[in-house]
Structure 1
Amino acid sequence: MAVLVLSGVLALAAGGCVCVVWAARGGPRWVRAVAAVTLAAAELVSWMGRTSRNAGSRGGSDD
């Protein structure tokens, strides 16, 4: 079941990347919409990664 879910996520990510490239070359409106959603999701994941790394480094040191 996990393999099926991960395969679906991988297919969505690959399709999103294709739409981003296609939109950069002037694709149809729906392609530009999918590309915008893909880029927003990538920005969100990147922001969440930075937030979690910063939260882990806030512990401070007792030097």
Structure 2
Amino acid sequence: MRSRWDRDIESFVFCLAEFRKLRDAKTEDSDNETLIHSFRTAVSAFDPTPLADEDSDWNLMLDEIIDGLW
């Protein structure tokens, strides 16, 4: 049986992999909101926990990308 710890690590690695896809797809001309929507959709389908809290580090980082800080 898998522990909660295993699931947390699996979720974290999945988020990192999806964020890498977002980062690799991002260009000066890319539509950041579309990229972030794709990230949110993929992550939420796998595990909604990382994005459940509006003040989570993931959501804050995504807001920074939308604001053009990345």
TM-score normalised to structure 2 length: 0.40
In our comparison, the structure showing a higher alpha carbon Rg is 1
TM-score, normalised on structure 1? 0.43
More helix by percentage: 1
